Amino acid sequence: MPNLPTDVVIIGAGASGLMCAMQAGRRGRRIVVVDHAKTPGRKILMSGGGRCNFTNREIDAAHYLSHNPHFCKSALSRYTQWDFIELVNQHRIAYVERDHGQLFCADSARQILDMLLSECAQAGVSLSLDTRVKKIEASMDHPFAVHTNRGAFTCHSLVAATGGLSIPGAGASPLGYEIARQFAIPVHPPRAGLVPLTLQATDKTILSGLSGIAVEAVVSNPRQCFRENMLFTHRGLSGPAVLQLSSYWQPGEPITIDLLPDMDLAAVLKAHQQRNPQRKTKSVLAAFLPKRLVAALIPPAIAERPLQHLSHQQFRQIATQLQQWTLKPGGTEGYRTAEVTVGGVDCDAISSKTMQARRVPGLFFTGEVLDVTGWLGGYNLQWAWSSGWCAGQVV
Ligand SMILES: Cc1cc2nc3c(=O)[nH]c(=O)nc-3n(C[C@H](O)[C@H](O)[C@H](O)COP(=O)(O)OP(=O)(O)OC[C@H]3O[C@@H](n4cnc5c(N)ncnc54)[C@H](O)[C@@H]3O)c2cc1C
């Protein structure tokens, strides 16, 4: 088996691995990026619905989950969203800003991947695609030997940039967690994040006819709340508000949904009762919410009744049903559709400045494999760029 000496082996030709490779390559390091996929950067291509929400103007540690909430601060401040935007500008990639400071390619995510690949090529980085890692050894003369189906690579620095477990069909694997465990680095149990929630059987029966309806809502649990669109699907609930909350959701926990944020619904119904007492409750509610949604949540005995026959107590009940609607999701759709993995390599074991394992010199972890999970909106890719950049300065 050939023995191929390099300075740095990066496992994972995704967002953080390519960023790390181009930075280290610019420093004159000999880099091989190994990936078991036949093509690099598949999640970059899938990102943002093919337009890649590559960063956000409002990057802040408060938009990340981690058992160590301070860990991400150093990297995010050393390689910022403005640094990445400058790179995008240098490559003349047109972009657009959407809600909440989210920046997307105006044309295609392919441009971001091509930019990274051309930077890597200029920096002399080698890509070894379709390459399966069989075993990793720490040896005396070189700290690491990475045994693959294409031979063994020896290196002084090894970077696990293997991403999370979401979308197995796009190359996701647990290798990064296995490498951590091999070197006695703790891993917080991974779970699916930014993922649609599924419904329990009874709720599914009641809500199955609502598939396709989208409404602005505040979706919350005791720890977080998000006000954005919510989408009913044939399996359950999705849309940005639900995806965001899913990262904070624990199995068995109820969630609360306010379908009419900012409205004093009981007072609105009372006012309508005075102006138009014969109007049916459902016609008033239909001014604010889709008819099918009202029919699913408000019993016909109330919905069909003229307002004049309803008491203030019943107005309050309607308001509670629509504004503090509590339901217990059955679960999540899991890694099949999740955008990210929550949990991962314990940041307490990693230097926040370099991404190097504190007790294993030469071993680095970047991107989603770490226990750092961003909100929806470009935060996860910015974490990949920032953490990859930091490792790229020192490997
Ligand atoms: C559908 C979808 C849309 C998304 N949209 C956005 C968005 O618009 N904005 C945003 O900020 N984030 C988005 N994300 C999240 C974002 O893509 C990831 O957080 C980011 O790509 C993580 O970068 P990474 O380098 O850690 O891992 P990845 O980019 O996932 O790269 C990991 C690489 O490691 C390789 N690999 C894995 N296991 C092995 C192995 N055993 N051997 C060799 N190679 C291996 C994989 O093939 C892959 O190339 C989206 C995710 C998904 C799934």
**C-alpha 264 to ligand 1 mean position (Å):** 43
User: What pLDDT sits at residue 4?
Assistant: 60
- pTM for the structure as a whole: 0.96
Mean pLDDT, residues 34-55 taken together: 98
Under a CB-based contact definition with an 8 Å cutoff, are residues 243 and 236 in contact? no
Q: Ligand 1: which of 369, 381, 387 to mutate, judged by most atoms within 8 Å of the beta carbon?
A: 381
Question: Is the beta carbon of 146 within 6 A of some atom in ligand 1?
Answer: no
Mean pLDDT, residues 130-149 taken together: 91
Which backbone phi and psi does 352 adopt, to 5 degrees? -70, -15
- pLDDT reading at 141 higher than 80: no
Question: Is the beta carbon of 43 within 6 A of some atom in ligand 1?
Answer: yes
**C-alpha 102 to ligand 1 mean position (Å):** 18
Atom of ligand 1 nearest to the CA of 12: 34
Name the residue among 367, 309, 41 with its Cα closest to residue 177: 367
CA distance 80 to 69: 17
Question: Is the beta carbon of 370 within 6 A of some atom in ligand 1?
Answer: no
Angle among Cα 152, 177, 129 to the nearest 5 degrees reads 40
| Residue in the block written with tokens 């409205």 | 263
Residue ID of nearest Cα to ligand 1 atom 46: 171
Residue ID of nearest Cα to ligand 1 atom 44: 35
Residue ID of nearest Cα to ligand 1 atom 10: 378
Residue ID of nearest Cα to ligand 1 atom 41: 175
pLDDT in tens, 244-291: 999 999 999 999 999 999 999 999 999 999 999 999 999 999 999 999
- pLDDT reading at 1 higher than 70: no
- pLDDT reading at 3 higher than 70: no
Percentage of residues of the chain with pLDDT beyond 70: 99
Question: Is the beta carbon of 236 within 6 A of some atom in ligand 1?
Answer: no
pLDDT band at 45 (very low <50, low <70, confident <90, very high): very high
pLDDT band at 149 (very low <50, low <70, confident <90, very high): very high
pLDDT in tens, 66-90: 999 999 999 999 999 999 999 999 9
- Average per-residue pLDDT for the chain: 96
Residue ID of nearest Cα to ligand 1 atom 19: 380
Mean pLDDT, residues 132-139 taken together: 94
Q: Ligand 1: which of 34, 47, 194, 342 to mutate, judged by most atoms within 8 Å of the beta carbon?
A: 47
Mean pLDDT, residues 202-229 taken together: 95
- pLDDT reading at 362 higher than 60: yes
Question: Is the beta carbon of 171 within 6 A of some atom in ligand 1?
Answer: yes
User: What pLDDT sits at residue 2?
Assistant: 52
Pairing state of beta strands 340-345 and 187-193? antiparallel
